[in-house]
Structure 1
Amino acid sequence: MREDAESLDIRDVTANWVNAAVLDAQIKERIKSLADLAHTPLFFGRLDYLHDVGAEQAEGAEGESFYIGRRHVHDAQGDPMVIDWRAPVSQPFYQASRKNPLDVRLRRRFGYTSGELTAYEDERLSDPAEAADGEHTSRLLQAEIERPRVGPMRDIVATIQPEQDEIVRSELGGTVCVQGGPGTGKTAVGLHRVAYLLYAHRERLARTGTLVIGPNASFLHYIEQVLPALGELEVKQATVESLVTSDAVPVRGTDPAPTAVVKGDARMAEVLRRALRSHVSPPAEPLMVVRGSRRWRVPAYELEEMVRELLDRDIRYGAARDALPQRIAHAVLVRMEQAGEAPDDRVQDAVARNPAVKAAVKAVWPPVDPAKLVLRLLSDARFLAEHAEGLLTADEQQAVLWAKPPRSVKSAAWSAADAVLIDEANDLVSRTHSLGHVVLDEAQDLSPMQYRAVGRRCSTGSATVLGDLAQGTTPWATTSWEQALLHLGKPEALVEELTAGFRVPREVIAYASRLLPSIAPGLAEVRSVRESPGSLSVREVTTDTGTLAGPVGAADGGTGAHGGTTADAAAAAAGDAAVLDACRQALKHEGSTGLIAADARVPALAAALGAAGMPYLSPGEETTAESRLTLVPASLAKGLEYDYVVLDEPSAIVAGEPDERTGLRRLYVALTRAVSGLAVLHTTPLPAALAGAPTA
């Protein structure tokens, strides 16, 4: 297939250089999408049906037997050899069961080792004898789920479960919100839904575009290979910050948590709307338009009616400003017709461009720069108070005001929350371009204003919202998907909950779930299908003099020195030595190891690893072959997975957050990053919510 694409001669089919350039780019993208991927087999299953299946269900193939793979593969004659997993004929591979075989006689799964076919496993779904035995967990399926993970996230196309498949194949027109605990595969489900929608609605989404939004660059780097492995290269990726930040207003500052909470509140949208509309002023004088030897007068009251009508329609500020000259010109044309003239559209356009009309519009409806509008709101206490009356309290207004207002837009140290406000103001002036589909991952951490920013990008399209309320770690984290979806502009979205865990061992998720009553009361606990005895180890580090006095590195901001005393030095040395030893033990196993610690502890642990001659990576660098050990600040752990996790000092992770609840949520995230084993080391008592946990 690749050779066929490479052999195309664009000179035979193009009439001009523009078409040739477009076609050449398309051919290059086609060749790129057909590149071989090491260790990624083209097919992973086979379906044998009881009856013939029509060609319309199987990409042009027909018959009883079909190989199922990551993408469509055809032979030299164009006959399908492998059917795309997204085709209708492939769906029973994920949905068929012994109780409901869906006309499938045999389902075969193939097992691979480093890209080489090494095993296969058959399920005779329509055999009454096997049906009587009930459902069994596939050995190959379990092995694929538990396969050690090194490097970026893999696709789960061979292991999609029935409840996941239903979400993946949901229709383009509807927005779906997936609440899923750790290890339930919500991120993979969201990415595979994009791949499915691109397959089922390729032409439409090619016109409108698709976007995946993640919490940070490390997370996006971690997931970036999933869609290309499925042959999809056109999906863009971004963070919310990169989505709303422009070169004109780069983010260089940070806000205290209370300030960021107020700036992220949905009430700020109305404050901005009021501030923008305040620039519109009623006309004080009539307008006189000179055209040739004639003068045409439009009285002030008529101009005011035009302005009032545009304001009442509540259309975009810029669109209304563009419409006003045409309204004025139309009023002049009416007078011309009454005087016996016969003006046409060209005359109306000419009147709309008349200097007097332009001057009147500028006076009544002046242009507004969104960044300057936000700058004034955050700098001018009187201006803010005027437009925040009845919306923000005096204390809230004071919280968002700059202590020392900058002189200009360029000199301002804009924060991430400020960039979202400017994006809102931009949309009030001119409509934001809407995409066909947006995937929003780790959505629980967004503020209401950030939800609005994302919602603008899919106002005429749909969205897949992914998150876990228990993992919200920002002061503005949502506590309700209904509220979040309302701010997103998708209140009708279907909320689905994934409660079956496939990646995190049962012992680990049960241990982490001790925190749920404190961080997310009422949220269902994940039920892991994986049993892995011995996957959890919790150890209190002691010295010869007993338990250490405090969290290593906590007393001095993470330097590792405890006040300089001999006892403190011994405590620091014992804590670091225990962590390094746990990392060595984890690295004896196949796969990746993540050392997760409070952000303040990272410098001390980095120094200890360096002194011990243990190479390590930072989040986002896992594609390199330098090491299988990654040192992960707790603030960047969300969404990442490692085969083995060494968790340093849980109490320091909790203490590193503004409040205990946020700290416990951060700890919940860190505890659930392990796929095969978790070792928790602590020098002081664990947080009370974890009290009574098993130790080793």
Structure 2
Amino acid sequence: MPAHAPTSPLGPDPLARERAHLAASRAALRAMREDVESLDIRDVTANWVNAAVLQSQIEDRIKALADLTHTPLFFGRLDYLHAPGRELAEGAGGEQFYIGRRHVHDSDGDPMVIDWRAPVSQPFYRASKKDPLDIALRRRFGYTGGDLTAYEDEHLTDPTEAAQTSKLLQAEIERPRVGPMRDIVATIQPEQDEIVRSGLSGSVCVQGGPGTGKTAVGLHRVAYLLYAHRERLARTGTLVIGPNRSFLHYIEQVLPALGELEVRQSTVDDLVATHVEVRGTDDPAAAVIKGDARMAEVLRRAVRSHVSVPTEPVVVVRGSRRWRIPAYELEEIVGELLARDIRYGAARDALPQRIAHAVLVRMEQAGEAPDDRIQDAVARNPAVKAAVKAIWPPVDPAKLVHRLLSDPDFLAAQAEGVLSPDEQKAILSTKPARSARAAKWSSADAVLIDEAQDLVSRTHSLGHVVLDEAQDLSPMQYRAVGRRCTTGSATVLGDLAQGTTPWATESWAEALAHLGKPDAAVEELTAGFRVPREVIAYASRLLPTISPGLAPVSSVRETPGSLEVRQVADLDTAVVAACKESLRHEGSIGLIAADARIPALTEALSAAGHTYLSPGEETTAASRLTLVPASLAKGLEYDYVVLDEPSAVVDGEPDERTGLRRLYVALTRAVSGLTVLHRTPLPPQLATP
């Protein structure tokens, strides 16, 4: 199906008509924006609070209606055989629909561009020659910058036209990666679309190798859910969780480009560090134990250990009467609250009311007629408050975790039968701080405090959470994320072969159980759209070692990539030369190296006069080269990658398997070409021909 250029001036010019529609659509979008800008909030509210809220909503709407000049307003067209129903077509009665990133209508309210998330747009991604879904023609548009320069037609119901691969689609997939991650609304594949449009009520786990688009699918699913369930998610909130801030910076423009501005982004560390400041680190052995799901039981016991068995009665004096609740009855009340296994703080709040109720029963037995006001007054009685403080004292989560990690006897009592003596010793502080305030908390400690906080008072649950690079989370981190969506759903994204933490999960079933979503559907993406087949085939040599049984990615790219593996004598000089050669190509360049090699490469690049960026920074006219520590490479992509000394990447990890997984990540960041330079021998998996 060839892409079309303008026809003769004497004949019909479809491209000119499409350009005219683009111009008219842009004008309509400007008019929509001007209508919002012209709103005077003084006409609708006199309350300053409501006015402030409305003004904020208007500003967000104006931002959402921005016309990004270098981003196509629409990228496709559908010609239906029959007019879809009015509901399906968003009120439009015609048979031709332009599909774009957002809805645009004219002054009469008729749609000029249909949002890609609307039901009427779905055949753009799902229709085929075998199942045309009532589509006669699907047209794709090609752009140069923001200018419409070509189109390509598929006549899905024409038996004389054979199915062919779209060259415009292929070109869009293989377009150079310059700057932050972009949306993929023009290139979503049928298997990806099924995941994107899956319902809000169910959770989904996407296993996808490098370049399969799992991150983009997760972000587009958020955009779709916000479109389909906007009111509900506006109340409950949405959250995207990434592995590090560089990654979040890389993806942060995807949702705003789709008109979605209200999605919060965070790392797990930032999510749980709201209770304490993280200033310390753990050795790997301690971090693994602190991240083990068994710590949840240790913390539960530690919290409940603060409850004391009542030994004294409660005597409430009201006027001339004394009402006595014996210790055995108090013990029954406490036992009932413990048996309900409700949160510690909620039970503590309920205890004075339960004691007051016991007093009111005695009042009624004595012929009085107390009401709710009397019960509330009794619950506030000094004797009742003193009893509650003695029986069910308040618990500070940070102080509790500090005591666990610094008091061997307390830890032993709570961890008996759960952690071995050696495991207990591994997590105890060798030089404990005098107080929780002075402690140098690690990231794993912050997760424990977050768990303890949830045992005391319920964590707020969101409507939907996207968790990317999920394979690297510990069981306790999964629990921390899971309690943020106990009443909502989740999209879990990851690749088991890219697990590079000592606690990386080996099974999605296990991970989803810790997350609290054991019934989540697990989908696997194996078609690679980013990494050239030469590069992914080379990296896949590591799979039998790092993740046996996992299906390798099959690249669907038609344009061949480049792969060069070369042993050199002077590594620094060769790396600088390779970067210079890569910069001759269009697009972004990533120099990936073991973290320990970064200082030497920094010096070599500076000596050669090369300016470079840090991971997550946008490429500029001054520099398209990014120096990337291997520990931060996950989730990033570059047109051309120079990989420095693979053996150093492997040796930088605590064990060989984790090191090979880190290397697998580094090898699969390239979109067009990969150059591997080494002085020492390659790992044997890569040394084979």
- TM superposition score category, shorter chain reference: over 0.9
Conservation of the 8 A alpha-carbon contact between 2:619 and 2:625: no
The TM-score, its normalising length taken from structure 2, stands at 0.95
Deviation at 1:532, TM superposition (A): 4.2
Determine the structure 1 residue equivalent to 2:240. Answer: 212
Determine the structure 1 residue equivalent to 2:430. Answer: 403
Determine the structure 2 residue equivalent to 1:181. Answer: 209
- Aligned partners of 2:663 and 2:389: how far apart in 1? 55
Determine the structure 1 residue equivalent to 2:647. Answer: 651
- Aligned partners of 1:306 and 1:488: how far apart in 2? 33
- Aligned partners of 2:269 and 2:68: how far apart in 1? 32
Residue 589 of structure 1, aligned match among 579, 585, 590: 585
1:457 aligns with 2:484: yes
- Aligned partners of 2:621 and 2:364: how far apart in 1? 79
Conservation of the 8 A alpha-carbon contact between 1:214 and 1:440: yes
DSSP 3-state at the match of 1:56:
coil
Q: How big is each residue's C-alpha offset from its partner over 1:64-119, in whole Å with a ceiling of 9 and x where there is no partner? A: 10000001011122221100000000000000001110000000000111111111
Determine the structure 2 residue equivalent to 1:387. Answer: 414
Deviation at 1:623, TM superposition (A): 4.8
DSSP 3-state at the match of 2:198:
coil
Deviation at 1:123, TM superposition (A): 0.3
Conservation of the 8 A alpha-carbon contact between 2:398 and 2:436: yes
Q: How big is each residue's C-alpha offset from its partner over 1:125-181, in whole Å with a ceiling of 9 and x where there is no partner? A: 011112xx2x32100000000000111000000000000000000000000000000
Matches within 5 A, 1:336-375: 336-375=363-402
1:149 aligns with 2:149: no
Residues 659/266 of structure 1: CA separation in 2 closer, same or farther (3 Å cut): same
When structure 1 is superposed on structure 2, of 528-537 and 667-676 the one drifting more is 528-537
Aligned length: 658
Deviation at 1:12, TM superposition (A): 1.2
Conservation of the 8 A alpha-carbon contact between 1:650 and 1:667: yes
Determine the structure 2 residue equivalent to 1:560. Answer: none
Determine the structure 2 residue equivalent to 1:123. Answer: 154
1:313 aligns with 2:344: no
Q: How big is each residue's C-alpha offset from its partner over 1:293-323, in whole Å with a ceiling of 9 and x where there is no partner? A: 1111111111101100000110000000000
DSSP 3-state at the match of 1:52:
coil
Determine the structure 2 residue equivalent to 1:68. Answer: 99
Output the amino acid matched with 2:78: L
Residue 271 of structure 1, aligned match among 267, 276, 298: 298
Determine the structure 2 residue equivalent to 1:495. Answer: 522
Deviation at 1:624, TM superposition (A): 4.2
- Aligned partners of 1:460 and 1:321: how far apart in 2? 24
1:199 aligns with 2:199: no
**Runs of at least 5 residues in structure 1 that lack an aligned partner in the other structure:** 543-573
Identity fraction in percent = 82
Conservation of the 8 A alpha-carbon contact between 1:47 and 1:106: yes
1:2 aligns with 2:33: yes
Determine the structure 1 residue equivalent to 2:324. Answer: 297
1:667 aligns with 2:658: no
DSSP 3-state at the match of 2:113:
strand
DSSP 3-state at the match of 2:82:
strand
- Aligned partners of 2:335 and 2:467: how far apart in 1? 38
Determine the structure 1 residue equivalent to 2:564. Answer: 537
- Aligned partners of 1:174 and 1:56: how far apart in 2? 25
Deviation at 1:344, TM superposition (A): 0.9
- Aligned partners of 2:606 and 2:471: how far apart in 1? 36
Determine the structure 1 residue equivalent to 2:510. Answer: 483
Residue 69 of structure 2, aligned match among 38, 42, 52: 38
Q: How big is each residue's C-alpha offset from its partner over 1:610-641, in whole Å with a ceiling of 9 and x where there is no partner? A: 00001110101125443100000000000000
Determine the structure 1 residue equivalent to 2:531. Answer: 504
Determine the structure 1 residue equivalent to 2:252. Answer: 224
Residues 112/204 of structure 1: CA separation in 2 closer, same or farther (3 Å cut): same
Conservation of the 8 A alpha-carbon contact between 1:506 and 1:532: no
Residues 56/534 of structure 1: CA separation in 2 closer, same or farther (3 Å cut): closer
Output the amino acid matched with 2:179: G
Deviation at 1:36, TM superposition (A): 2.1
Conservation of the 8 A alpha-carbon contact between 1:181 and 1:525: yes
- Aligned partners of 2:559 and 2:676: how far apart in 1? 16
- Aligned partners of 1:661 and 1:613: how far apart in 2? 37
Q: How big is each residue's C-alpha offset from its partner over 1:370-392, in whole Å with a ceiling of 9 and x where there is no partner? A: 00000000000010011101111
DSSP 3-state at the match of 2:160:
helix
DSSP 3-state at the match of 2:661:
helix
DSSP 3-state at the match of 1:57:
coil
Deviation at 1:531, TM superposition (A): 4.0
Conservation of the 8 A alpha-carbon contact between 2:170 and 2:558: no
Output the amino acid matched with 2:193: D
Output the amino acid matched with 2:353: Q
- Aligned partners of 2:51 and 2:159: how far apart in 1? 59
**Runs of at least 5 residues in structure 2 that lack an aligned partner in the other structure:** 1-31
Determine the structure 2 residue equivalent to 1:602. Answer: 598
Output the amino acid matched with 1:64: E
Deviation at 1:59, TM superposition (A): 2.1
- Aligned partners of 1:369 and 1:679: how far apart in 2? 53
DSSP 3-state at the match of 1:524:
coil
- Aligned partners of 1:360 and 1:343: how far apart in 2? 22
Deviation at 1:33, TM superposition (A): 1.2
Determine the structure 2 residue equivalent to 1:523. Answer: 550
DSSP 3-state at the match of 2:462:
coil
- Aligned partners of 1:402 and 1:37: how far apart in 2? 54
Determine the structure 1 residue equivalent to 2:12. Answer: none
- Aligned partners of 1:489 and 1:413: how far apart in 2? 30
1:687 aligns with 2:683: yes
1:616 aligns with 2:612: yes
Deviation at 1:21, TM superposition (A): 1.5
Conservation of the 8 A alpha-carbon contact between 2:533 and 2:561: no
Determine the structure 2 residue equivalent to 1:547. Answer: none
Determine the structure 2 residue equivalent to 1:16. Answer: 47
- Aligned partners of 1:604 and 1:37: how far apart in 2? 41
Output the amino acid matched with 2:174: E
Q: How big is each residue's C-alpha offset from its partner over 1:248-272, in whole Å with a ceiling of 9 and x where there is no partner? A: 5200000000000000000000000
- Aligned partners of 2:401 and 2:554: how far apart in 1? 47
Determine the structure 2 residue equivalent to 1:435. Answer: 462
- Aligned partners of 1:256 and 1:582: how far apart in 2? 36
Q: How big is each residue's C-alpha offset from its partner over 1:40-74, in whole Å with a ceiling of 9 and x where there is no partner? A: 11100000000011221122222210000001011
DSSP 3-state at the match of 1:128:
coil
- Aligned partners of 2:606 and 2:418: how far apart in 1? 53
Conservation of the 8 A alpha-carbon contact between 1:507 and 1:532: no
Matches within 5 A, 1:236-247: 236-246=264-274
How much is the aligned-residue C-alpha RMSD, in angstroms? 0.9
